[in-house]
Amino acid sequence: MIIEHNADLKLYNTFGVSVRARALAGFTSESDLRGLLQHQELAGMRRLILGGGSNLLFTRDWPGVVLRNDVPGIEVLHEDEERITLRAGAGVVWHDLVMHTVAHGWGGIENMSLIPGRVGAGPMQNIGAYGAELKDTFDHLEALRISDGEMIRFSKADCNFGYRESFFKREGKDRFVIMNVAFTLNKNPKVNVGYGSIKSELEKRGILSPTIHDVSASVIAIRSSKLPDPRVLGNAGSFFKNPTVPIRVADQLKNILPDLVTFPSADNQVKLAAGQLIEKAGWKGFREGGYGIHKDQALVIVNHGGATGAQLYDLSTRVLESVKERFGVELEREVNII
């Protein structure tokens, strides 16, 4: 096992923030991880499990060891005439998995094309986009329990999925390491084109009977036009969650925002578009030195170069306070703060 000391994490987070970890090591298997957890040199250090580094913001150096999850592989667990269950290693790039399923004609996750990060982070966040969420096709996952090194199988119910939430972000935080995730997909898929922007993109392309390949290509085009590439401009995608409010609150907001965007939710509530609220509060395109808000998508905080995590976090606080003061709506960060 290679252990790097005083490691720079700039290349391991999509914000491109330069912070250091006391130690850094990668693992590709259960035995690798168990070895690192028992390694005498790392004993007593705080641990941080890192995947693609696409949904976190480092605001300080990490005083312990960063363990990078590089578990590889995509394999078929079960298949019949209608469905197929795939298992992917937690270290597999999420978009690579999506492209693998689209190429084989297996439907279910194509609406989540181009979401950054790795497979292992997907269940933690219950990632989702354009009318689909990970929980919709999730079958089970296997995670290593840190306390004793045992592999535990989690069902969908065990994961307690919510909106960008799961057991692994709450009760299970820092207790388990996700090693692989299984999905059940459709071999004769019905496309999900209910999301307005997908419909518009398909119409623009003149596609009347879309396939999952068409849906994936449309989502990639939409995301590419709205969201910056982290390899070019440091960011973690959507920084804020879309807030859920009672219908009466949304109706009141329409008095000052007649074009308020809402999405149906449960229990007499609706979901608001956080990006619209941030834009209406005047933040879209804001820049201060080496950081700011993206010019095309107000949900995205960007590092133009050289910004610290503390500066980016401070900007997010200013946005939260501004939206609360202007509209009375409390936004919540989607990005994990370290």
- In this prediction, residue 324 carries a pLDDT of 97
Model confidence at 137: pLDDT above 90: yes
Q: 269 and 180, same structural domain?
A: no
- In this prediction, residue 120 carries a pLDDT of 95
Query: Cα–Cα distance between 249 and 46 in angstroms, integer?
Result: 43
Model confidence at 61: pLDDT above 80: yes
What does 102-158 look like in DSSP terms, one character per residue?
HHHT-BSSGGGTT--SBTTHHHHHT-EETTEEGGGTEEEEEEEETTT--EEEEEHHH
Tell me if residue 165 falls in helix, strand or coil.
Answer: strand
Structure tokens that stand for 91 in this block? 């270290």
Q: 21 and 90, same structural domain?
A: no
Listed residues 128, 156, 186: the one ending a domain: 186
- Percent pLDDT > 70 in the chain is 100
Query: Cα–Cα distance between 5 and 20 in angstroms, integer?
Result: 9
Query: Cα–Cα distance between 80 and 29 in angstroms, integer?
Result: 29
Query: Cα–Cα distance between 46 and 50 in angstroms, integer?
Result: 13
Give 240's contacts (C-beta < 8 A, 6+ positions apart): 274, 275, 278, 299, 316, 319, 320, 331, 332, 333, 334
Which CATH number fits the domain that encloses residue 42?
A: 3.30.43.10
- In this prediction, residue 306 carries a pLDDT of 92
Q: 120 and 136, same structural domain?
A: yes
Is 215 within the bounds of a domain? no
Is 199 within the bounds of a domain? no
Question: For residues 1 and 257, which has the higher predicted lDDT (pLDDT)?
Answer: 257
Is 204 within the bounds of a domain? no
Residue whose C-alpha is closest to residue 175's, from 158, 192, 162: 158
Q: What phi and psi values does residue 111 have, to the nearest 5 degrees?
A: -70, -15
Helix (H) or strand (E) holding 334: none
Model confidence at 1: pLDDT above 80: no
Q: Which residues are marked as active site? A: 164, 238, 334
* Band of residue 268 on the pLDDT scale cut at 50, 70, 90: confident
Which CATH number fits the domain that encloses residue 136?
A: 3.30.465.10
Domain that holds residue 95: 74-186
Is 326 within the bounds of a domain? yes
Q: What is the pLDDT of residues 164-199, one digit of tens each?
A: 899 998 899 889 999 999 999 999 999 999 877 899
Q: 297 and 264, same structural domain?
A: yes
* Band of residue 266 on the pLDDT scale cut at 50, 70, 90: confident
Contact assessment for residue 78 and residue 86, using Cβ atoms and an 8 Å cutoff: no
Q: 85 and 44, same structural domain?
A: no
Listed residues 125, 160, 186: the one ending a domain: 186
Structure tokens that stand for 85 in this block? 């269950």
Listed residues 69, 86, 110: the one ending a domain: 69
Q: 332 and 264, same structural domain?
A: yes
Residue 42: count other Cβ atoms within 10 Å of its Cβ: 19
Per DSSP bridges, beta strands 269-272 and 287-288 are unpaired
Q: What is the pLDDT of residues 32-55, one digit of tens each?
A: 999 999 999 998 899 999 988 988
CA distance readout (Å), 195 to 13, 215, 246: 30, 11, 22
- 40 CB burial (10 A radius; 0-12, 13-18, 19+): exposed
Is 212 within the bounds of a domain? no
Is 285 within the bounds of a domain? yes
Per DSSP bridges, beta strands 301-303 and 138-145 are unpaired
Is 203 within the bounds of a domain? no
Q: 172 and 91, same structural domain?
A: yes
Q: 163 and 85, same structural domain?
A: yes
Q: Could you give the number of structural domains in the chain?
A: 3
Q: 172 and 86, same structural domain?
A: yes
Mean pLDDT of 10-23: 96
Query: Cα–Cα distance between 240 and 249 in angstroms, integer?
Result: 20
- Percent pLDDT > 90 in the chain is 86
Q: What is the pLDDT of residues 199-258, one digit of tens each?
A: 999 999 999 999 999 999 999 999 998 888 898 999 998 999 999 999 999 999 999 999
Is 250 within the bounds of a domain? yes
- In this prediction, residue 273 carries a pLDDT of 94
Structure tokens that stand for 298 in this block? 């107000």
Q: 85 and 39, same structural domain?
A: no
Q: Average pLDDT over the chain, rounded to whole?
A: 94
pTM listed for this prediction = 0.86
Q: 18 and 117, same structural domain?
A: no
Q: 100 and 58, same structural domain?
A: no
Which CATH number fits the domain that encloses residue 293?
A: 3.90.78.10
